[in-house]
Amino acid sequence: MSEAQNFKYIGRNTIRPDGFDKVTGRANYGADLTLPGMLWGKILRSPHAHANIKRLDTSKAEALAGVHAVATFADFSAVGDEAIEGGEGSSTLLDLARNILARDKVLYHGHAVVAIAAKTAAIAEQALALVEIDYEILTPVLDVRTAMAADAPLLHNDLYTQNGADKATTPSNVAARHEFKMGDVAAGFAAAEIIVEREFYTPTAHQGYIEPHACTVRFDKDGQSMVWCSTQGHFDVRASTARLLGMELGKLKVIASEIGGGFGGKTTVYLEPVALILSRKSGRPVKMVMNRDEVFKATGPGSASRSWIKLGAKKDGTITAMQGSLAYEAGAFKGSPVMMGCMTAFTPYAVPNMLIEGFDVVVNKAKVAAYRAPGAPQAEFAVEMLVNELALKLGRDPIDLRLQNAAKEGTQTIYGPKLKRVGLVECLEAARDSKHYQQALAANQGRGVAAGFWFNVGGQSSVTINMNPDGTGTIVEGSPDIGGSRASMQMMAAEALGIAPALLKPIIGDTENVAFSAGTGGSRTTFATGMAVIEAAEDVVRQMKQRAASMWNVTAEQVDWVDGVAVNTAGEDRLSLASICAGADRTGGQISGRGNINARGAGPSFAVHVCDVAVDQETGKVDIVRYTAVQDAGKAIHPAYVEGQFQGGAVQGIGWALNEEYVYGASGLLENAGFLDYRIPVASDLPMIDAIIVEVPNNFHPYGVRGVGESGIIPPLAAVGYAVENAIGAAVTDLPLSPPRVLQLVQDRG
């Protein structure tokens, strides 16, 4: 693609095509579907963090009038221990089943044990109270340090540490050890004139989407079963659910409802297979909706982490070595994103000597799920804090020091490839030149700068564009629209077709009316599904040219396509898209374009944030005074929604840095499973978030797109963290920087 393309529609802030439904309340989300004869399903959850199930008796519950079906792990007894794809983490089918309904052990507070479908939700709840369970309570393991100790109680007697190709012979809570290295760190540190190192902690943090998990399902023996649910990937829901229930893919239709936020947390299944079992047993449709307490207790948060990072540099600012060790909580089953942490931690820097190891550790907490750039914020927080310390000790501006060491095109990454063209330098320059960065700080204020790297992914996407006789069209795609992606699909198709965006209606097809598409995750939708949209649109154009050519008795090669009009280069003829569609019955039937791809070449998106805080030194309370988020979008298809991704990521990161954390009691019970005490930022906590879009095109996308969804959550942890460090003059190591912790730091400083 050329450097500067002239776009007709791309880059405009259009009104999103699904907007009307969303501002009027007409849009239907996961909990909004009711079917005739529908039952309500409810789940009984563990009151303990770690216990053996000695006896489970559901007979009294089953006998209650109005109860139609009961499900337990026994309904998954045929499930084997095979690896599964999908979502954004690695797992096995058996672990998935055991997370959905506990087998012989409950492994966290809120772990599902029994599900009941009844005529009303109230009856289902009464029935849950009649279930009899005898637990043998075990010591909970609540932190990676205790979990990794030699004498730690084991969650799983059959979990052995995988270390590269080697597998340990004694069971452990450490599921895996990963290592990445390049160069010679010992030599790198030997060459250093200044070394900084520190240990850090980040807490368990939840995605905090406002819509709880919900589904309505109907099992039909004739093979017309369907699941309506809120998910980031309905093809993944189909795959997991069908395998857990032993169904053929073609006999299960999954419809993605509108989705009320996900951030990675809706890339796996919790309710859907259970609801379908209840429907199969009862012969009735079943609806299940989690309450907020269940969402916090039993759906995947992001990993808590402990990390140690060490950096070495020369006095001229050249970083010579970076080393680290990460341990991430996976929750009750293996599969934390620690490997992603290892791969991203040092990637903003062009440094020859790097070594990092990561441990995937099971603990008695809810199994983690992907959370926006899964694994990266925890690791990059630690590194960015130390880069700021390095700048302070070297007497250098933190942006200037980063520019000196910034990764750029050709930089070797620790995980294998050299970087293609990336925009870190441009982001750093834009941050440096921002009005914010020129502003002076007042008393009790501090400033932090941090960079963030996320790979972004491509993968499979399928799109069909069906034209109508009046020249309008429907774009059928398979990527649930979680933040406005239908608007960008509409614009990319319009650009490729040369017609106004409003003539095209993008819809999310169900698993039967569009071919396989990977879920909305990895910042892939605008990039990969966008490429499929463009390919489908180009397919439409190709056919338009053929139809025009056949009408003009020329070859298709002699037809140009200019602004939605076929032009005969061998004559004066013109035919608009609308007129070709109107006459399609005479040229071979109506036109559909197809784009089924496996997208390669996703472009990393770097972000740089600047944060100013004010600290109340008597209470430890931190206020965000100014905030600027700079990020490389490659090409912003819809700039307002690109800014929205930067701002939303920044604020989730601010919440993680300041107040969000799971609070567990000594017995492992979660004490703050609600929005009252799991404190996500509210409107009055924040200033405006200045968003600066940098556009360094990704040459693998026809319009230069990079995904923008995830990188924005990475820098805030250290931008806020170091701003506090800068304001109070004491080293920050642990998040969140809640008032008690900050006051303690202030008082310990003296």
State both tokens at 326.
């990460």
* Contact stretch for other proteins (CB under 8 A) within 342-350, 410-418, 568-576, 738-746: 738-746
Which amino acid makes up residue 353? N
* Contact stretch for other proteins (CB under 8 A) within 178-186, 196-204, 535-543, 733-741: 733-741
Which one of 11, 32, 142, 383 is in contact with other proteins (CB under 8 A)? 32
The C-alpha atoms of residue 489 and residue 487 are separated, in whole angstroms, by 6
* Contact stretch for other proteins (CB under 8 A) within 136-144, 243-251, 254-262, 268-276: 254-262
Contacts (Cβ under 8 Å, ≥6 apart) of 446: 612, 613, 615, 722, 723, 724, 725, 726, 727, 728
Which amino acid makes up residue 151? D
Containing 149, the helix (H) or strand (E) segment is: none
**For residues 47 and 283, which CB has a smaller minimum distance to other proteins in the complex?**
47
Which one of 2, 4, 6, 25 is in contact with other proteins (CB under 8 A)? 25
* Contact stretch for other proteins (CB under 8 A) within 21-29, 67-75, 93-101, 268-276: 21-29
**For residues 514 and 629, which CB has a smaller minimum distance to other proteins in the complex?**
629
The footprint of other proteins on residues 120-139 (CB under 8 A) is 122, 125-126, 129
The C-alpha atoms of residue 508 and residue 488 are separated, in whole angstroms, by 13
The C-alpha atoms of residue 261 and residue 147 are separated, in whole angstroms, by 32
**For residues 129 and 186, which CB has a smaller minimum distance to other proteins in the complex?**
129
- Stretch 448-487: interaction string toward other proteins, x if CB under 8 A: ----------------------------------xxx---
Which one of 621, 667, 730, 734 is in contact with other proteins (CB under 8 A)? 621
The C-alpha atoms of residue 240 and residue 215 are separated, in whole angstroms, by 15
Counting every residue written for the chain, the total comes to 750
Measured from the CB of residue 352, what is the shortest distance to other proteins in angstroms? 37
* Contact stretch for other proteins (CB under 8 A) within 19-27, 175-183, 221-229, 727-735: 19-27
* 15-27 b/e (C-beta count within 10 Å ≥ 16 → b): ebbbeeeeeeeee
Which amino acid makes up residue 394? L
The C-alpha atoms of residue 182 and residue 67 are separated, in whole angstroms, by 61
Measured from the CB of residue 366, what is the shortest distance to other proteins in angstroms? 17
* Contact stretch for other proteins (CB under 8 A) within 4-12, 233-241, 261-269, 494-502: 261-269
Instruction: State residue 415 phi and psi, 5-degree precision.
Output: -100, 5
The C-alpha atoms of residue 496 and residue 489 are separated, in whole angstroms, by 11
The footprint of other proteins on residues 489-518 (CB under 8 A) is none
| Size of interface with other proteins, in residues (CB under 8 A) | 78
Contacts (Cβ under 8 Å, ≥6 apart) of 193: 313, 314, 315
State both tokens at 411.
């930089």
**For residues 48 and 280, which CB has a smaller minimum distance to other proteins in the complex?**
48
Which one of 586, 677, 731, 749 is in contact with other proteins (CB under 8 A)? 677
* Contact stretch for other proteins (CB under 8 A) within 355-363, 375-383, 644-652, 723-731: 644-652
Q: What is the dihedral angle through the alpha carbons of 629, 631, 633, 636, rounded to the nearest 10 degrees?
A: 30
Q: Does 20 contact other proteins by CB under 8 A?
A: yes
Measured from the CB of residue 131, what is the shortest distance to other proteins in angstroms? 13
Measured from the CB of residue 122, what is the shortest distance to other proteins in angstroms? 7
Distance in Å from the first CA to the final CA of the chain? 58
Burial class (CB in 10 A: 0-12, 13-18, 19+), 586: exposed
Measured from the CB of residue 183, what is the shortest distance to other proteins in angstroms? 39
Measured from the CB of residue 523, what is the shortest distance to other proteins in angstroms? 14
In the beta sheet, which residues pair with residue 560?
567
* Contact stretch for other proteins (CB under 8 A) within 98-106, 237-245, 604-612, 679-687: 679-687
- Stretch 199-228: interaction string toward other proteins, x if CB under 8 A: --------xxxxxx----------------
Taking the CB of residue 186, how many other CB atoms lie within 10 A of it?
Answer: 12
Taking the CB of residue 82, how many other CB atoms lie within 10 A of it?
Answer: 9
State both tokens at 500.
């106004």
Measured from the CB of residue 77, what is the shortest distance to other proteins in angstroms? 29
Which one of 91, 241, 659, 711 is in contact with other proteins (CB under 8 A)? 659
Please name which of 168, 108, 419, 551 lies closest in space to residue 294, comparing C-alpha atoms. 108
**For residues 62 and 125, which CB has a smaller minimum distance to other proteins in the complex?**
125
In sequence order, what DSSP letters do the residues of 668-699 get, joined into one string? S-BS--STTTS----GGG----EEEEE----T
- Stretch 685-704: interaction string toward other proteins, x if CB under 8 A: xx-xx-x-------------
Which one of 1, 28, 557, 749 is in contact with other proteins (CB under 8 A)? 28
The footprint of other proteins on residues 276-295 (CB under 8 A) is 289, 291-292
The footprint of other proteins on residues 353-392 (CB under 8 A) is none
Contact of 114 with 43, CB cutoff 8 Å = yes
Q: Does 640 contact other proteins by CB under 8 A?
A: yes
* Contact stretch for other proteins (CB under 8 A) within 245-253, 276-284, 557-565, 615-623: 615-623
**For residues 23 and 168, which CB has a smaller minimum distance to other proteins in the complex?**
23
Measured from the CB of residue 180, what is the shortest distance to other proteins in angstroms? 32
* Contact stretch for other proteins (CB under 8 A) within 90-98, 132-140, 375-383, 683-691: 683-691
The C-alpha atoms of residue 122 and residue 117 are separated, in whole angstroms, by 11
Q: Does 647 contact other proteins by CB under 8 A?
A: yes
In the beta sheet, which residues pair with residue 609?
450, 629
The C-alpha atoms of residue 191 and residue 235 are separated, in whole angstroms, by 51
Which one of 72, 282, 652, 698 is in contact with other proteins (CB under 8 A)? 652
SS3 632: strand
